[in-house]
Amino acid sequence: MHRTTKKLFQLVGVVAGIGAAAWAMRARMLPSPEIHNEPPPPFRKPPADTTDSDLTEIKGIGPATAKKLGDAGITTATQLAEADAEALAEAVGSSVATVERWVAEAASVR
């Protein structure tokens, strides 16, 4: 073997030995991991304010639709649950079936 090749193999052996020694001593060099017994945080936190006024919690009602509902006099889920679906659909500009879904969900939410 050529002398340079021997030196290269020696260097690789030294580096591998240092790596093996570090791997063997890793338990002494690193702190042990902390084990948490807490449950994971919820995906979606419930709102802190549980008032009846946030219509956007109902599926299909966004900020723009909530504003249209507010203009029609509906500002709470209770009011939406008690509203006439046909009249509200005309006022908001949505289909009667969609408004009936909102009314049913508002009745279950309140």
Number of structural domains in the chain = 2
The answer to whether residue 66 sits within a structural domain is yes
Q: What is the DSSP string of 4-45?
A: HHHHHHHHHHHHHHHHHHHHHTHHHHSPPPP---SPPPPSSP
Is residue 41 in some structural domain?
no
Residue 43 lies inside a defined structural domain of this protein: no
How far is the C-alpha of 95 from the C-alpha of 100, rounded, in Å? 9
Q: How many CB atoms lie within 10 A of CB 79?
A: 18
Please check whether residues 59 and 105 belong to one and the same domain.
yes
The 10s digit of each residue's pLDDT in 91-101 is 899 999 999 99
State which residues form the domain around 2. 1-31
Q: In angstroms, rounded to a whole number, what is the distance separating the alpha carbons of residues 95 and 73?
A: 18
Categorize the per-residue pLDDT at 36 as very low, low, confident or very high, splitting at 50, 70 and 90: confident
CATH number at residue 98: 1.10.150
With respect to residue 18, please indicate whether it lies within any of the assigned structural domains.
yes
pTM greater than 0.75: no
